[in-house]
Amino acid sequence: MKRVLAFETSCDDTSVAIIEDPGRVLSCVTANQDLQHEVFGGVVPEIASRNHSLNLLPLVDVAFEKAGMTWSDMDGIAVTNRPGLVGSLLVGVMTAKTLSLAKGLPIIGVNHLEGHLWAPFLSDDSYSLQQGFPQEYIALAISGGHTQIYHVRGLGQYKVLGATLDDAAGEAFDKFAKMTGLGFPGGALVDQYARSGNPKSFHFPRALMTEDDLRFSFSGLKTAAQRQVESMTEQQLKDQIHDLSASYQEAICEVLVAKLDRAVKSHGIHSVVLTGGVSANSRLRFLAEQWAQDEGVNLAVPPLRYCTDNAAMIGYVGLKRLQLGESSSLDFGPSPRPYEDDFEY
Ligand code: KG4
Ligand code: ZN
């Protein structure tokens, strides 16, 4: 088992990748649907699944072309089948199953979150993880739908140490961008506006900081921002949007780094992975890198292209599992929730 073709269609990005042992990305092509969803201020599931149907097969051709390969070079197929929007997952799963039957290749359904956890282990012409990074680490997975801290002990061995009680970190960014009229998707825009703002201009709450656990909560922050925005005139908001964005972003980033610090100290593990769309945030990267340096922590953050949703990370997990002799029978389907037994709690 040397190479897999991988599909990712769990939300609004359609992505296809070809991965070669031990984790080399030969091609990874993604069709972004942001423009189609922007007018609605969020992802519309029906539009997302329709676009996956339109984009997926053409992307397979592009992925083969970029890798300089054909079907005869493939040894298996990996596809995200959980968790996500069911209509979106269905397109990837049905396409992958059909191709698996037609080409006589083994197939494996992959948990999207497991993909994020291993994203730093991918490599390509301009990125590879520092040599000797261990396979046991603390991972902070932060995306539009999830905010969790894991203790990873190897492939398939994941303990959830803490999760958000309400909004995900990415959702908190997206909601702020919506209420301030910055646009969609929010995280990257807030990041951009915050660069020239003062993070100390506004005070926003940091929830569960004194609790001796690894849970998160971002709904109070969102409400505080909503109140602040409502108290401002349109002109004030326009004049202070950089400071407001920087202060809001700081509240999220500080909490994330503080919880990472707690996880590292309470578990005595000094290797940390930061992953998921929100790990693209420049301020978070800066604060996390500074913290890692101060605390002697070995920090791995995938490059931006592997932080947000992509098929390469799905291919990585699929390849490792197929190599272990695992595969999915053709009756597997999409699921909106991670299976309970994918993780320990
Ligand atoms: O992992 P991802 O691509 O999709 C999910 O599985 O959710 O994450 C998307 C999330 C969105 O909420 C988006 O606003 C956020 O990641 N994001 C960012 C940045 N880039 C993307 N959040 C903060 N700063 C960024 N630079
Ligand atoms: Zn994701």
Q: Do residues 63 and 210 both lie within one domain?
A: no
Comparing 44 with 104, which gets the higher pLDDT? 104
Q: Do residues 112 and 255 both lie within one domain?
A: no
The answer, yes or no, to whether residue 338 has pLDDT greater than 80, is: no
**Which atom of ligand 1 lies closest to the CA of 168?**
12
What sign does the CA torsion over 96, 98, 104, 109 have? positive
Range in 42-51, 115-124, 242-251 with the lowest mean pLDDT: 42-51
Q: Do residues 47 and 106 both lie within one domain?
A: yes
Q: Do residues 102 and 142 both lie within one domain?
A: no
Q: How far is CA 276 from CA 238, 247, 266, 330, in A?
A: 30, 22, 23, 29
> Do residues 271 and 154 make contact, with C-beta atoms less than 8 angstroms apart?
no
Q: What spacing in Å lies between the alpha carbon of 170 and ligand 1's midpoint?
A: 5
**Which atom of ligand 1 lies closest to the CA of 112?**
6
Within 13 A of 79's CA, how many CA atoms are on the CB side? 29
CA distance 135 to 132: 9
Helix (H) or strand (E) holding 186: helix 186-194
Q: What is the pLDDT of residues 142-189, one digit of tens each?
A: 999 889 999 999 999 999 999 999 999 999 999 999 999 998 889 999
Q: What spacing in Å lies between the alpha carbon of 106 and ligand 1's midpoint?
A: 32
Q: What is the pLDDT of residue 123?
A: 98
Q: What is the pLDDT of residue 36?
A: 83
Q: What is the pLDDT of residues 79-91, one digit of tens each?
A: 999 999 999 999 9
Q: What is the pLDDT of residues 232-275, one digit of tens each?
A: 999 999 999 999 999 999 999 999 999 999 999 999 999 999 99
Name residues contacting ligand 1 (CB within 6 A): 11, 143-145, 170, 173-174, 185-188, 191, 276-278, 280-281, 308-309
Tell me the average pLDDT across 4-30.
Answer: 96
> Do residues 179 and 232 make contact, with C-beta atoms less than 8 angstroms apart?
no
Residue 191 CB neighbour total at 10 angstroms: 20
Q: What spacing in Å lies between the alpha carbon of 8 and ligand 2's midpoint?
A: 10
What angle in degrees, to the nearest 10, is found between the helix axes of 234-267 and 186-194? 100
Nearest protein CA to atom 2 of ligand 1, as residue: 277
Nearest protein CA to atom 20 of ligand 1, as residue: 188
Q: Do residues 87 and 212 both lie within one domain?
A: no
The band of 12, judged by pLDDT with boundaries at 50, 70 and 90, is confident
CA triplet 141, 146, 152: central angle to 5 degrees?
35
Q: What is the pLDDT of residues 192-228, one digit of tens each?
A: 999 999 999 999 999 999 878 899 999 999 999 999 9
Structural domain span for residue 210: 137-301
> Do residues 216 and 255 make contact, with C-beta atoms less than 8 angstroms apart?
yes
Of 8, 143, 250, 286, the one to substitute when testing ligand 1's pocket (max ligand atoms within 8 A of C-beta) is 143
Q: What is the pLDDT of residues 95-115, one digit of tens each?
A: 999 999 999 999 999 999 999
Comparing 209 with 139, which gets the higher pLDDT? 139
Q: What is the pLDDT of residue 171?
A: 95
Q: Do residues 310 and 214 both lie within one domain?
A: no
Q: What is the pLDDT of residue 113?
A: 94
Nearest protein CA to atom 8 of ligand 1, as residue: 277
Of 117, 175, 278, 287, the one to substitute when testing ligand 1's pocket (max ligand atoms within 8 A of C-beta) is 278
Question: Which tokens in the block code for residue 19?
Answer: 């991965």
Largest CA distance in the chain: 63
CA distance 345 to 302: 25
**Which atom of ligand 1 lies closest to the CA of 186?**
14
CA distance 290 to 312: 28
Q: Do residues 204 and 246 both lie within one domain?
A: yes
Distance of CA 191 to the CA centre of its chain: 16
Asked, for residue 337, whether it belongs to a domain, the answer is: no
Asked, for residue 7, whether it belongs to a domain, the answer is: yes
- CATH of residue 154: 3.30.420.40
Asked, for residue 116, whether it belongs to a domain, the answer is: yes
Distance of CA 76 to the CA centre of its chain: 24
**Which atom of ligand 1 lies closest to the CA of 10?**
6
Distant-in-sequence, close-in-space partners of 125: CB < 8 Å, separation ≥ 6: none
Q: What is the pLDDT of residue 65?
A: 98
Percent of the chain with pLDDT over 90: 87
Asked, for residue 338, whether it belongs to a domain, the answer is: no
